[in-house]
Structure 1
Amino acid sequence: MATVKVKFRASSVKTKEGALYYQVIHDRLARQLRSGYKLYPSEWDTERSKVILPSGIEEGRRYYLLSVKAALDNGLARFKELIAWLEHGNMPYTADKVLELYASPTEYGGFITYARKLIGELKQIGKICTAETYTTALNSFVRFHGERDLLFEEMDSNRMVQYETYLKENNVCPNSTSYYMRNLRAIYNRAVEEGLTGQRNPFKHVYTGVDKTVKRAVPLKVIRRIREADLTQTPAMDYARDLFLFSFYTRGMSFVDMAYLKKKDLQNGVLSYRRQKTGQQLFIKWEKPMQEIVDKYDTSGTSYLLPIIKDMKMDARRQYKNAAHLVNDKLKKLGERLGLGIPLTTYVARHAWASIARSKNIPLPTISEAMGHDSENTTRIYLASLDASVVDKANSLILKSL
């Protein structure tokens, strides 16, 4: 593996400054590159290869020496990242190649190149959700930074604070900002684990927490208005409304779980499925309103229960994502037509079920079990799993109230 050090070459004239240069050694071959900085011998510690600040120096000279020290540290970090990249890729290289790449850093790539490569690898091994979240965060960052690649050493706390300011100026909410930061941090940390860069903690001064959001629930009377709205002239909106109601009927089932329901999941009057998010298995007593929606659509050509993934030959996840976008767009328009004070989305159905259940004095543990909490810490609070019949009774009580 190549090594790199900073060396000092004194001037032949004792009263003049000497030059600082980088020395790269690989396979016993040494190559040198000028740093562009000069110092007096008294300002350099040859044994430790470090800039020193002699006592009694002028303030201006002191600031210059500090800037030289910072620049040399950054230069060494760049060299080490470049060498780590070459070693990680098992690429044959020479000391000359290291200097060549140092002079043209875009050839070996930095954070953005690494992130895109990582996303591609995640897709190849089936980690589609992670790849999509990383892509969303990276796209946001690229809109701020531009397409020019970013050396890992440039991923510092100042840049991330600037990015956070950019997001605030574009009215991005704190939770979305945190979402981008957490995913970018995950990408960066993977690079650190692979030895491509050192840990500089660039996210230490930006927000990466989760604010409590204002929940968007609607009361039972609004659910009735949504159910009873005449949408015969707008089939796409009618379709969106049906999926919204199906989510509500099934205790706020998430859209992704609805999309992947199979016909075989419905047996002997019980719908069973595992949450895509947590893997938790849930059981729901099949009710008449659910059957009415299923009967309304022809799904004979697929193994899926609902008309979301419609073509067995096409990518299922792409169909689910497209359907989710369409449904939420139509629900938003439906909400505007009904004069609702909040944007209507599939998420509203999930939270509405929980809020209405609570208003019916259904115990919180029952609601938690019914919805399949995605937090293990939360579900542990409720100890053992509740009897499914208790949950089904709660759901029946809500549906009969419609």
Structure 2
Amino acid sequence: MASLKIKYRHSSIEGKAGTLFYQVIHNRVARQINSGYKIYPDEWDIFNSQIIIPAKTGENRHRYLVSLKKCIKEDTSRLKDIMIRFENLGYKYTADEIIEYYSAPPVNEYFVSFCENLIEQLRQIGKMRTTETYTTTLNSFKRFMHSQKRDRDIPFDNVDSNLMIEYEQYLKFQDICPNSTSYYMRNLRAMYNRAVEKELVIQRYPFKHVYTGIDKTIKRAVPAKIIRQIRDMDLSHDSSLEYARDLFMFSFYTRGMSFIDMAYLKKSNLQNGFLSYRRKKTNQQLLIKWEKPMQEIIDKYDTMGSSYLLPIILDAEADERKQYKSAAQLVNSKLKKLGEQIGLPIPLTSYVARHAWASIARSKNIPLATISEAMGHDSENTTRIYLASLDTSVVDKANSIILKTL
């Protein structure tokens, strides 16, 4: 295997600073890399090959030398990583190849840098949801790296099962639940697999010993009597609570429509007594018969001058996604308070409306295939064969039955 030395070259001009350089030796061939770092002879320990800080060093020079020590540590660590990588590749490499690789290292050969570049590419093509998901995951992984004093980037060869097991343990110590841990692992795996596809790394299955499944979560559905109680609450004293409740009920009335789909509903989506839209998550087209309670909510809010049906995205000139996310946070915060007021044993969120609709539909003996179609699921494989010919009037009838139970 190649070896590495740090050496000091004195200046040819007396009193001037000399230069540090790295010497890479492999198969008795020595090559040099000029670091570009300048220090004086009394600042170099020739026996231990390291920078020293003389006693009478000024404050600015002291900071410079401390910074230089950190840079040298990072440079030599990277060079050693390259040497290990070349050794693991199993072919006869040369010292010149190490120098060449170090001088112009492909950014994508390093895991965190690759992930950051991937996220930026996704952002540029408008994949905002994936961008946010990957960013959240990578930030968590970076915090783990920092906790392990691994602030520098890591080569793909160092992304192995041991590292992922360490990361999983870190998440457990942070009291992250198994489903959230799995969420981070699945996203990291997705980014890693992108690198495999680009042939930047050989597939070594670093996630094979960590949990990437999905546990059953606490039941989030509530019965019809709770939905009625939420609907009938007098919230005129607090407009923000009333706003959150109304959007919750609109979601329920529209067969558990997700908040993001509600946010982006346009007035043009409502025509001839039917609300037509595409799910953001699956791109599936859904058609909902317009019912009286839906209109009652729309009539409560002034959306004149807006192309949107609901008062969620208010400023067409501002960032729409930021407005949607801000509204979602507000609504879920207020719903949590509502849930506490009525003594719910589970946190009340906008997603509870979706669970509740499905649960109540099932309790009314509405077929699973009908429920799946109504909610726009694309992973109900056991019901898919029935969905192709399912008449939308069956779904509309199902929704009417549920609304009447209130």
Does TM, normalized by the shorter one, top 0.5? Answer: yes
Tell me, which stretches of 5 or more residues in structure 1 are unaligned?
Answer: 1-5, 9-19, 25-29, 34-71, 82-92
* C-alpha distance in structure 1 between counterparts of 2:87 and 2:278, whole Å: 49
Report deviation, 1:251.
Answer: 0.7
CA deviation digits over 1:273-318, x for unaligned, max 9?
A: 1111111111111011000111111111221111111111112112
Q: What whole-Å deviation, never above 9, does each CA across 1:169-212 have from its counterpart, x for those lacking one?
A: 22222221111111111111222222333322211111112223
Conserved 8 A contact 2:137-2:188: yes
**Match among 214, 232, 238 for residue 242 of structure 2:** 238
Q: 1:78 to 1:141 in 2, by over 3 A?
A: farther
8 Å CA contact 2:82–2:98 kept in 1: the answer is: no
Q: d(CA) in 2 for partners of 1:76 and 1:400?
A: 69
Which residue of structure 2 lines up, in the alignment, with residue 114 of structure 1?
A: 114
The C-alpha deviation readout for 1:26-81, integer Å capped at 9, x for no partner, is: xxxx8648xxxxxxxxxxxxxxxxxxxxxxxxxxxxxxxxxxxxxx9983416899
Residue 32 to residue 377, structure 1, CA distance change in 2 (3 Å): farther
1:305-344 to structure 2, matched below 5 A, reads: 305-344=309-348
Aligned residue in 2 for 1:98? 101
Q: Quote the offset at 1:101 in angstroms.
A: 7.0
Name the residue aligned to 2:211. Answer: 207
Letter in 1 for 2:314: K
Structure 2 residue 78 is matched with structure 1 residue 75 = no
Residue 188 of structure 1 pairs with residue 196 of structure 2: no
Question: TM-score, normalised to structure 1's length?
Answer: 0.75
Aligned partner of 1:165 among 164, 169, 176 = 169
Give the secondary-structure state (helix, strand or coil) at the position aligned to 1:382: helix
Structure 1 residues 271-280 or 240-249, which shifts more?
271-280
Residue 276 of structure 1: aligned partner = 280
Q: CA 1:364–1:219 in structure 2 vs 1: closer, same or farther (change >3 Å)?
A: same
Worse-matched range after superposition: 149-158 or 342-351: 149-158
Answer yes or no: is 1:294 the counterpart of 2:298. Answer: yes
Structure 1 pair 108/197, CA: closer, same or farther in 2 (3 Å)? closer
Structure 2 CA distance, aligned partners of 1:156 and 1:78? 17
Q: Which amino acid counterpart does residue 255 of structure 1 have in structure 2?
A: F
CA distance in 1, matches of 2:231, 2:115: 45
Instruction: Choose which of 158, 182, 202 in structure 2 pairs with 1:154.
Output: 158
**In 2, Cα distance between the equivalents of 1:246 and 1:374?**
22
Supply the distance in 1 between the matched residues of 2:124 and 2:250 (Cα, whole angstroms): 34
Structure 1 residues 378 and 372: CA distance shift in structure 2, 3 A: farther
2:133 corresponding residue in structure 1: 133
**CA pair 348-261 structure 1, distance change in 2 beyond 3 A:** same
Distance apart, 1:361 and its partner CA? 1.8
CA distance in structure 2 between the partners assigned to 1:114 and 1:332 by the alignment: 39
1:303 is aligned to 307
Find the counterpart in structure 2 of residue 48 from structure 1.
Answer: none
Separation (CA, whole Å) in 2 of partners of 1:296 and 1:110: 54
Q: Distance in 2 between matches of 1:378 and 1:326?
A: 37
* Offset at residue 377 of structure 1 (A): 2.4
- Alignment partners' CA distance in 2, 1:223 and 1:256: 21
Q: Is the 8 A contact 1:78 1:153 kept in 2?
A: no
Q: Structure 1 pair 76/237, CA: closer, same or farther in 2 (3 Å)?
A: same
* Counterpart Cα distance in 2 of 1:200 and 1:75: 19
Code of the residue aligned with 1:277 in structure 2: it is K
Task: Supply the distance in 1 between the matched residues of 2:142 and 2:123 (Cα, whole angstroms).
Answer: 20
For residue 116 of structure 1, what is the amino acid of its counterpart?
E
Contact kept, 8 Å, 1:74 with 1:153, in 2: the verdict is no
Q: Secondary structure at the match of 2:277?
A: strand
SS at match of 2:378: coil
**For 1:149, what is the secondary structure of its paired residue?**
coil
CA contact (8 A) 1:277 1:374 kept: no
Amino acid across the alignment from 1:173:
C
Distance 1:169 1:385 in 2: 50
TM-score normalised according to structure 2 size: 0.75
CA deviation string 1:58-111 (max 9, x = no partner): xxxxxxxxxxxxxx9983416899xxxxxxxxxxx9864434578xx9x98721
Q: What is the alpha-carbon distance in structure 2 between the residues aligned to residue 352 and residue 77 of structure 1? A: 53
Cα gap change, 1:312/1:175 in structure 2, threshold over 3 Å: closer, same or farther? Answer: same
Q: 1:382/1:78 Cα in 2 relative to 1: closer, same or farther (>3 Å)? A: farther
Match of 1:176 among 169, 176, 180: 180
Question: Sequence identity, in percent?
Answer: 66
Gaps of 5+ in 2: 4-23, 33-79, 90-95
User: Contact 2:254/2:288 (CA < 8 Å) preserved in 1?
Assistant: yes
Given that residues 251 and 258 in structure 2 are in contact (C-alpha distance below 8 angstroms), is that contact kept between their aligned partners in structure 1?
yes
Amino acid at match of 2:129: C
Which amino acid is 2:204 matched to?
R
Residue 23 of structure 1 deviates from its aligned partner by: 6.4
Structure 1 residue identity aligned to 2:101? V
Paired residues of 1:328 and 1:344 also in contact (CA < 8 A):
yes
> 2:82–2:102: 8 Å Cα contact kept in structure 1?
no
Q: How does 1:367-378 map to 2 (within 5 A)?
A: 367-375=371-379, 377-378=381-382
The AA in structure 1 aligned to 2:139 is N
In structure 2, give the amino acid aligned to 1:98.
Answer: Y
Partner Cα distance (2:108, 2:295) in 1: 57
8 Å Cα contact 2:284-2:376 kept in structure 1: yes
Taking the aligned partners of 2:401 and 2:2, their CA distance within structure 1 comes to 80
Q: 1:117, CA displacement in angstroms?
A: 1.6
Contact 1:251 1:350 in 2 (8 A): yes
Q: Is the 8 A contact 2:108 2:200 kept in 1?
A: no
The residue identity in structure 1 corresponding to 2:130 is T
Tell me the distance in 1 between the aligned counterparts of 2:86 and 2:324: 43
Among 389, 392, 405, the residue aligned to 1:388: 392
Q: Secondary structure at the match of 1:195?
A: coil
Q: Which amino acid aligns with 2:238?
A: T
Q: Distance in 1 between matches of 2:374 and 2:334?
A: 27
Instruction: Give the 3-state SS of the residue equivalent to 1:300 in structure 2.
Output: coil
